Amino acid sequence: MKIALIAPPYPLEEIPSPPLGLTYIAAVCEAAGAEVVIFDYIVRGYSEEKLKAELEAFDPDIAGTNSVTMNFKQAAGILSTVKKINPKIITLMGGPHVSFDCDATLTAYPKIDIIVKGEGEETLKELLGVIHNRSAWYEVRGIAFRGDDRIITTSPRPFIRDLDALPTPARHLLPMARYQALGYPVSIITSRGCPNQCIFCLGRRMVGQKVRFRSPSLIADEIEELISMGSSYINIADDLFTASKQRVSELCNEFLKRKLDVHWSAFSRVNTIDVETLKLMKSAGCHSVSFGIESGNPDMLKRVKKGITIDQARKASAACREAGIRGHASFMVGLPGETHETMMDSLALQKELEIESAYHFLSPFPGTDVREKIADYDLEILTHDWDEYNANRSIVKTSALSPEDMDAFVRMAHAGVEELWELLKKKYKDKTASPDEEMQVGGYYRMEMIFRLLREDVIEQNSVYLSDKKTALKSLSERISALTGLDQGFVEFNMNDLIAKGYIRMAESRGSTCFSWAHHVQ
């Protein structure tokens, strides 16, 4: 059996990690004896022509993808294209969006054959054994598909009890060097489950309310493997890394015992952290912790069932400063009952906390209480265009606020940061920036350059030069400079660095020089 898994396009500005869920699924497929490829269109340009060529070259029996709400339409469109290219391919889709919107998805996209709901590993393992026997689909728990005259949703599948039984994610199938060139962290999980009740989040419904833990030794093994692949910047993607302080202690001590040279970040809650825990995490390589604080208004926190207090937010931010670890506070605008006063309460708390912070807009995703019980709240959802569910602008209104009011507040709250950034860019251009400022702005332009290289397949389209290495690199840099508007010397310096680090390969043979992205760093 041949299986093509597809990572659909996702904005590089949103700092995507190598797709963790897809590599877990790939590992399950490989363990079942299938031949598996991943078509990664996150860090490569996507086109129907490219998809057609890659499908015809591999000739899969099954094609599957996953998505979140903001890239759902593109992912579903890709599977529709797969079916158009080869109607015999069985198409599968998973992820949080379709798990809670399966009827609408199967109705709107008739070329999608099966939806895998919730945790997909055990479901897919069973499904692969009967995939060519349609009558047996009815007995597979955790899927949805079209029956003769209606959409069939089978009984729910229990959550996986033993996470240690999961295979290691099949990251060898990903073009990891491209992610490493971006400098983005690689995500891992150390647990699944979220015990909290926030009305805007899918955590507990997607992975369960009871937290299940992986063994510290297996997690450390996975990190050692990532380090050997050239990735030492890790994001622990658990919904709540600090669900158990004893567990955090065991994991950090395992990292320390093995002397792992790794830098990692994690998600926490202000009511599950303290100075001692943060200091231990820092000693084990943690450099930053993110908190979803959401609002500076106590009544709002109760309304959204956040389960935290303003005082706990103050103590958590103070603990980060004392432990010498970066804290990051996330605030949400557009929650039910939002008013000018509640937004100003958030602004006041943001300034008081004195840690890094950002504002995001509420996106009422399928499956969340705030969407499913919308009549219970002072909230109106203004669009059902999933492309708009990116948390970057308001798509709701309350009785007191329009979306324009909310957008204006966030622009005001972020204005100081944006003004400072524009000043830094001007100093950089005028050559009056300090070394630290120059590094910061130069890093931004380097990232913009790499975005273009990846999105537009620039290296692939400019891969061969009939000249020696030095002349070829100069020619390639000229083309990138013309494309991006960046200084050619800057481009050439950064291209040399990407080559030196092994992300881009440059090979010379008989007077010709070839450039290509590495798959993995050697």
pLDDT for 510 equals 85
Q: Is residue 427 part of a domain?
A: no
**Is the same domain home to 189 and 89?**
no
**Quick check: 377 and 400 in contact, CB under 8 A?**
no
Domain coverage including residue 378: 185-408
**What single letter denotes the amino acid at residue 146?**
R
Tell which residue, 491, 405, 404, 427, has the closest CA to residue 453: 491
Does residue 341 fall inside a structural domain? yes
> Do residue 374 and residue 485 come from a single domain?
no
Final residue belonging to a domain, choices 408, 428, 463: 408
Q: What is the CATH number of the domain that holds 31?
A: 3.40.50.280
CA 494 to chain centre: 26
Residue that finishes a domain, picked among 132, 153, 174: 153
With respect to residue 241, please indicate whether it lies within any of the assigned structural domains.
Answer: yes
Asked, for residue 426, whether it belongs to a domain, the answer is no
Torsion of CA 258, 259, 260, 261, to 10 degrees: -170
Rg (CA), the chain: 24
Asked if residue 274 lies in contact with residue 325, where contact means CB atoms within 8 angstroms, the answer is: no
For residue 478, give the amino acid letter.
Answer: E
β-bridge partners, 286? 264
Question: Quick one: CA torsion of 46, 49, 55, 57, rounded to 10 degrees?
Answer: -120
User: Per the domain annotation, does 350 fall within a domain?
Assistant: yes
Categorise residue 257: left if φ over 0, alpha if ψ from -120 to 50, beta otherwise.
alpha
The alpha carbon of 297 is separated from its chain's Cα centroid by a whole number of angstroms, namely 29
> Do residue 201 and residue 260 come from a single domain?
yes
Residues 53 and 101 placed together within one structural domain of the fold? yes
Contact assessment for residue 92 and residue 116, using Cβ atoms and an 8 Å cutoff = yes
| Beta strands at 2-7 and 62-66: parallel, antiparallel or unpaired | parallel
CB atoms within 10 A of CB 58: 15
The pLDDT score that the predictor gives to residue 244 is 96
| Closest C-alpha among 186, 185, 218, 211 to residue 196 | 211
Tell me, rounded to whole angstroms, the distance of Cα 50 from its chain centroid.
24
Do 343 and 446 sit in the same domain of this protein?
no
Residue type for position 183: G
One domain for residues 60 and 190? no
195 and 277 in a single domain? The answer is: yes
Q: Running DSSP on this structure, what letter comes out for residue 195?
A: -
Same domain for 42 and 191? no
105 and 229 within one domain:
no
Q: How far is CA 441 from CA 417, 426, 483, in A?
A: 14, 10, 19
Q: Is 442 found in the same domain as 396?
A: no
The pLDDT profile of the chain, 522 residues, written as one tens digit per residue, is 999 999 999 999 999 999 999 999 999 999 999 999 999 999 999 999 999 999 999 999 999 999 999 999 999 999 999 999 999 999 999 999 999 999 999 999 999 999 999 999 999 999 999 999 999 999 999 999 999 889 999 999 999 999 999 999 999 999 999 999 999 999 999 999 999 999 999 999 999 999 999 999 999 999 999 999 999 999 999 999 999 999 999 999 999 999 999 999 999 999 999 999 999 999 999 999 999 999 999 999 999 999 999 999 999 999 999 999 999 999 999 999 999 999 999 999 999 999 999 999 999 999 999 999 999 999 999 999 999 999 999 999 999 999 999 999 999 999 989 999 999 999 999 999 999 999 999 999 999 999 999 999 999 999 999 999 999 999 999 999 999 999 999 999 999 999 999 999 999 988 899 999 999 986
Q: What was the pLDDT predicted at 327?
A: 97
Asked if residue 289 belongs to a domain, the reply is yes
Instruction: Give me the pLDDT at residue 234, please.
Output: 97
> Taking the complete model, does pTM exceed 0.85, yes or no?
yes
Residue 179 resides in a domain: no
> Residue 231 phi/psi, 5° resolution?
-115, 110
The predicted structure's pLDDT at residue 511? 86
CA dist., res. 137 & res. 114, Å (int): 9
Structure tokens at 363: 């996106």
The first and second tokens of residue 244, run together, are 């158990």
Helix (H) / strand (E) containing 360: strand 356-361
CA nearest to 417, candidates 440, 394, 445, 389: 440
Both structure tokens of 516: 């290509």
